[in-house]
Structure 1
């Protein structure tokens, strides 16, 4: 195929320190834990070239690891051989359809660019992630990303109207027209949303757009317990209904390290904190007053309401900088888990008690999207960075035991990848895993697409 339409590099390294800075974005995962080896990085500039590459690899039994922005945290887009098929050069906005409230994009489009394109036509694309300046929509779809606005708008599974996918045989399945209803047999797009590149390569997507928020009310509330936070969530849902967009839980320690990192004074002093946001598509001057009155009447008086856009941004900076502020604590074992909202308090109490009994010097950073029951439950031990991983299986055993005891899941929004595949059996039955293997074998009989990811080894 013409070299003008394809960029390739043959890359072989053994450790993160050996990788040149300009090649690290393709080879090194975000947490600098996984390194691609013995692979060719390929960046096609058209869907047709994706098909040609896939057909060539299928004929020659060459493994393919699909890759977008490479912002994942579970080792899902690193390769041990074959090619890394990076879709970053497939990055065009194909169409904006205001009648159907949709935007059709290439899979390599950066999330923030999609948000901007929507805003330019007075529409809103609600997926919002800390990595939105670099993550790509194909990866967001392949991992069924969630983010800050799931409570109102849902996950990627709820935001995708249609997909264009290149299958492992090089053929293409395309259903991009914005059909709002379609009951013709199986809805195949849902096979690929959340499949982590193991069944096909997403090359295009049609996404839902919404009216942009015209009014925003943001509050930070200190609460004495998670139970009190859950009670507040129930009250807010009942009172403000669909206007509730975000409901974030933040522990005292998480706020402390973020405030230090961000040089922002904590808004409240309490054992736990809630950052909530209401939005309305209509301009109204009373939404903030209604929220203030609601909090006062329900005795949530340890609260701060943002009085300006700068104050709102400061509150969100405290939430979003928790991840960055953790780096000062050293390496850690992270957990991206979810349990039913009613069980969050019991999970945190029971799991934390057992971990601290076994590891008295452990520090816990707990925060996340209480509005949908998902938490970032991160553990830190006072050891050298890489030494922490010798404790990983033991710590995960404790955490996942308590997750399962509360009818939860070990992967809420980051996926399974390489990191968690050997834990999949704890949350999926043998019959479910067998069905997944059968689907994989039907679509990818030679196991070439993102091998050794998601499904546990036989």
Structure 2
């Protein structure tokens, strides 16, 4: 920490806005990266953020915005400059039921956004494993996905308006819950998914929906992913918008989670689907409709939740996959997506290619088949620590080459950060990268906003 720089900020900020550097702010969630900022700031107001940015812009001091520090790609790790933690900007500004919207500050924890919506009788549908600690500003900055993208879309689809402090301290605020607006370029979409490289998101107006009054949850065992894709198409054709989640789980992933959760495996199969239907109207027959549908189409290796506890148990098996993997050591994670029709081909081809290079490799495959995104995590049994990252480039090359051959992307919902930026030229054209650089240069001419993240090195 730089005592002189801390004193400079303390001269125009409240005393408690200049804080000590603590491990929860400095060490990323996977304990892979450790930040080394010159100063850590926790502004309490948007005005403080503006003053900080003006000061940094004039003196060309780098600024790394940080939310809940739950990222997996190193995007919120500062090397020098200011680590700008937004956790104190956490107020509820407005709930507008006429427009089905909620306006919150960037530091509000996602779970609290969900709870505030529920108090008003509404649903905010973004749902992630880290929802108890991640913050809505960070969710917006990396365009988070989660469990309900199939029905409600990614974070981008849930944002009606944004308030952003630009690198020079200017405030751009369009928080009106406008459902239609064709007045030129939609600037908010520049900042959604920008990973803090263009400005500091300080507040957002988000879409709300009716709370579900009926739920039907089923776990289906299948011989292969092609069968799962076929089931998805049938369910969408029959139940339409009622299909909220459609999660894919491999046999190995289920075995890990069942042991960790002390829960029985619902069925025996090579591949599994956890699906959930919801309806905003009370409908006690919805589970019966789903059971009959599965039986009529030959998906008899299934169980339906008969109670809320059984539903929770099924979801616990899905949600505990990540935690259960820790027994295998440190993983090289892949947050990838392909067109849904390409998922089976990718999975069939990629693991044998990995095994040819690393015979002992283990793959834990699960994810959101309903939107084509997978968590494809690889483990080397003989390397239990972070030393596994020595093999990251070789493993990533195999996985990403297969992803690209199936028309996919290397980043579905976790973002780019530092660990994937050198792959950007493989998924974006030279013209697209040049356009990104031009936007960055226009908004951030001194390159102070989260430098070294997202864009590939020149």
Q: Specify the TM-score bucket, using the shorter chain as the normaliser.
A: over 0.9
Distance 1:38 1:137 in 2: 23
Runs (5+) with no aligned partner, structure 2: 1-10
1:14 maps to what in 2? none
1:29 maps to what in 2? 28
What pairs with 1:335-346 in structure 2 (closer than 5 Å)? 335-346=334-345
Distance 1:386 1:342 in 2: 34
State the Cα deviation string for residues 165-222 of structure 1 (Å, max 9, x = none). 0001100000001111110000000000000000010000000000000001000000
State the Cα deviation string for residues 138-175 of structure 1 (Å, max 9, x = none). 00000000000000000011000000000011000000
What SS is found at the alignment partner of 2:452? Answer: coil
Distance 2:75 2:343 in 1: 27
Q: Are the aligned partners of 1:5 and 1:44 in contact in 2 as well (CA < 8 Å)?
A: no
**2:129 aligned with 1:119:** no
State the Cα deviation string for residues 10-35 of structure 1 (Å, max 9, x = none). 64xxxxxxxxxxx1111011100011
What SS is found at the alignment partner of 1:247? Answer: strand
What SS is found at the alignment partner of 2:428? Answer: coil
What SS is found at the alignment partner of 2:41? Answer: strand
Which stretches of structure 1, 4 residues or more, deviate above 6 A after TM superposition? none
**2:438 aligned with 1:428:** no
Give how far 1:4 is off. Answer: 3.5
1:19 maps to what in 2? none
**2:49 aligned with 1:44:** no
Give how far 1:56 is off. Answer: 0.4
Give how far 1:39 is off. Answer: 2.4
1:82 maps to what in 2? 81
What SS is found at the alignment partner of 2:322? Answer: helix
Distance 1:201 1:279 in 2: 36
State the Cα deviation string for residues 283-340 of structure 1 (Å, max 9, x = none). 0111000000000000000000000000000000000000000111001110000000
Give how far 1:274 is off. Answer: 0.2
What SS is found at the alignment partner of 2:94? Answer: strand
**2:351 aligned with 1:352:** yes
Distance 1:327 1:8 in 2: 35
Distance 1:284 1:350 in 2: 43
**2:452 aligned with 1:452:** yes
Aligned-CA RMSD value = 0.9
Q: Are the aligned partners of 1:6 and 1:45 in contact in 2 as well (CA < 8 Å)?
A: no
Distance 1:33 1:455 in 2: 20
Distance 1:419 1:38 in 2: 19
What SS is found at the alignment partner of 2:134? Answer: coil
2:3 maps to what in 1? none
Give how far 1:384 is off. Answer: 3.5
Distance 1:172 1:161 in 2: 17
Give how far 1:121 is off. Answer: 0.9
Give how far 1:3 is off. Answer: 5.0
Distance 1:291 1:401 in 2: 38
Matched residues, number: 447
Q: Are the aligned partners of 1:111 and 1:132 in contact in 2 as well (CA < 8 Å)?
A: yes
Give how far 1:358 is off. Answer: 1.6
1:309 maps to what in 2? 308
Distance 1:206 1:227 in 2: 39
What SS is found at the alignment partner of 1:332? Answer: coil
Distance 1:45 1:114 in 2: 18
Give how far 1:38 is off. Answer: 3.8
Distance 2:334 2:13 in 1: 42
**2:199 aligned with 1:189:** no
**2:315 aligned with 1:321:** no
Give how far 1:9 is off. Answer: 3.3
What pairs with 1:83-98 in structure 2 (closer than 5 Å)? 83-98=82-97
Distance 1:269 1:168 in 2: 54
What pairs with 1:288-303 in structure 2 (closer than 5 Å)? 288-303=287-302
What SS is found at the alignment partner of 1:85? Answer: strand
Give how far 1:357 is off. Answer: 1.8
